A and B are shown apart, each in its own frame.
Chain A
Amino acid sequence: MTDAAPIAARGLFKSFGAAPVLRGVDLTVAAGFAALIIGRNGAGKSTLLRILAGLWSPDDGAALLFGEPSAALPPAARRRVGLVTHQSFLYPNLTARENLEFFCALYGVAGAPEQIARWLERVGLAVAADDRVRGFSRGMEQRLTLARALIHRPAALLMDEPFAALDAEGVAMAAALIGEALAGGCAIVLTAHQPLAIAKLEFALYEIVRGRLVARPADGGAEPRGAIDPRQPAA
């Protein structure tokens, strides 16, 4: 185990055909801190998250999780990562409980039945625990997705628009879960189209502009507490 930052990017470049999407992105997120990355549609937010998660390889540069290349992360390190993307990663023909059972088995969650019951309660899906996901609304799916991503208590959390499709109560619930993860020392990268104004949550705010990551002081003022210099070394 090293003391490397849980999430880091070093000079990431990524192009699709002739179109550059990321042009030298640097980012470091320490344990217990969150970075919110905003940008227009197609700015490269999801691309950055997928590269950080190890699902895509950068053309140049390095995406690091716990100091190791995210695309070649050993299973023990992958066990410490949570991922929320535009896709729910849920099986429509399984129930909410069965989906969580499956992911608990993959991540080796101890005391899975109790954890599953607790998390279904936390995300407000206890009454739908044994319903198949195919009958869920988009918001219910997103709630279950949050439970799926958090149930193994990750130390690094990558979340692509985690508040999408949630109602006001759902946003408050998701914010509480993210706040708890932060308080527990989790490093988090979130994306959104615009700055989030969610009580009790503080982010270091960045914007992807023409493929580069630019620090943005929140509300035009000073850097929020927990802001991280994107040029800070990974370890």
Chain B
Amino acid sequence: MAGFAAVLRKDLRLELRGGESLVALVALSLLILVVMVFALDPAGGVRDAATAAGALWVALILAGVIGSSRVLLAERDNGCIRALIASPLDRGALYWAKLTAAFIFMAIAEAAAIVLMVLFFNLDFDWRLMRMAPVIALGALGFAALATLLAAITGRVRAGDMLLPLLAIPLFVPALIAGVKASGAALAGAPFAAIAQWLKILVAFDVLFVSAGSLLFEYVIGEE
């Protein structure tokens, strides 16, 4: 537990000073949303909830590939991953610390992206956004778990940064479909039952990849 807290505190402190992950996440989300707005409806005007939800999730995935894996890849870039592996730190604690940091960064970036989505797609700041909170939180957790595990694997090979999206995006497709459908339903004001069926898929995805990460991380992070 002390190791988990130390690594997480260090990552958050470094992020507050450097801001690499958050800046990448928010900036890329902004750019993708802007591109999507112009691509989908250059003339402007009101957009529908499903389109807004789709654009939001595209932004989150592409930004998340770059941003959420930075917390682990940065350790490899500066060589400090070797110190962590050689230290008494339990590798399970390292996984949970990296996953927690990635989740926090993604959650903050998603909050910013939702604000941008509302502005760009002429939506309202109302109660429907609150109904998106569990959808977005589950999506962020699932993607952070997937990206943390895959970053541990791809970080060991050349051009791992390029390989990460090639692996992460196809694997995230089930959660992406569920997330878009649930977000669209939430934004359209559909009954909770319509959202819940998709939430179940997101929960299953999260359980699968958080479990896989906690079981496999110590083996894939292993030798440098």
A residues near B, CB below 8 A?
50, 53-57, 71, 75-76, 78-79, 81, 83, 85, 87-94, 98, 102-103, 105-108
Q: State whether B82 touches A75 (Cβ < 8 A).
A: no
Whether B86 is near chain A, meaning CB under 8 Å from some CB there, is: yes
Q: How many angstroms between the C-alpha atoms of A102 and B80 in the bound complex?
A: 12
| Residue in chain B with minimal CB distance to A57 | B223
Binary flags per residue of B117-157, CB closer than 8 Å to A gives 1, else 0: 00000000000000000000000000000000000000000
- Which residues does chain A contribute within 8 Å of B3, judged by CB atoms? 105-106
With A89-B79, A89-B82: A108-B10 Cβ-Cβ less than 8 Å: no
Q: State whether A83 touches B86 (Cβ < 8 A).
A: yes
- Which residues does chain B contribute within 8 Å of A54, judged by CB atoms? 85-86
- Which residues does chain A contribute within 8 Å of B83, judged by CB atoms? 83, 89, 103
With A71-B223, A106-B3: A53-B86 Cβ-Cβ less than 8 Å: yes
Least Cβ–Cβ distance between B160 and chain A, in angstroms: 18
A interface majority secondary structure: loop
Whether B2 is near chain A, meaning CB under 8 Å from some CB there, is: yes
Whether B169 is near chain A, meaning CB under 8 Å from some CB there, is: no
Q: How many angstroms between the C-alpha atoms of A59 and B6 in the bound complex?
A: 34
Q: How many angstroms between the C-alpha atoms of A78 and B223 in the bound complex?
A: 15
Q: How many angstroms between the C-alpha atoms of A91 and B11 in the bound complex?
A: 10
Instruction: List the one stretch of B12-20, B41-49, B172-180, B205-213 in contact with chain A.
Output: B12-20
Looking at the complex, which one of A55, A57, A93, A107 makes contact with B18 (CB distance below 8 Å)?
A93
Q: How many angstroms between the C-alpha atoms of A89 and B86 in the bound complex?
A: 11
Q: How many angstroms between the C-alpha atoms of A56 and B223 in the bound complex?
A: 6
Least Cβ–Cβ distance between A116 and chain B, in angstroms: 14
Least Cβ–Cβ distance between B222 and chain A, in angstroms: 8
Q: How many angstroms between the C-alpha atoms of A54 and B14 in the bound complex?
A: 27
Q: How many angstroms between the C-alpha atoms of A81 and B84 in the bound complex?
A: 12
| Residue in chain A with minimal CB distance to B82 | A55
Least Cβ–Cβ distance between A228 and chain B, in angstroms: 23
| Residue in chain B with minimal CB distance to A86 | B79
- Which residues does chain A contribute within 8 Å of B224, judged by CB atoms? 50, 55-56
- Which residues does chain A contribute within 8 Å of B17, judged by CB atoms? 93
Q: How many angstroms between the C-alpha atoms of A105 and B9 in the bound complex?
A: 11
Whether B88 is near chain A, meaning CB under 8 Å from some CB there, is: yes
Extra contacts, 9 of them, besides A55-B82, A105-B6, A106-B3 (Cβ < 8 A), are A56-B224, A83-B82, A83-B83, A87-B80, A91-B14, A91-B80, A98-B13, A103-B87, A106-B6
- Which residues does chain B contribute within 8 Å of A87, judged by CB atoms? 78-80, 82
Least Cβ–Cβ distance between B188 and chain A, in angstroms: 44
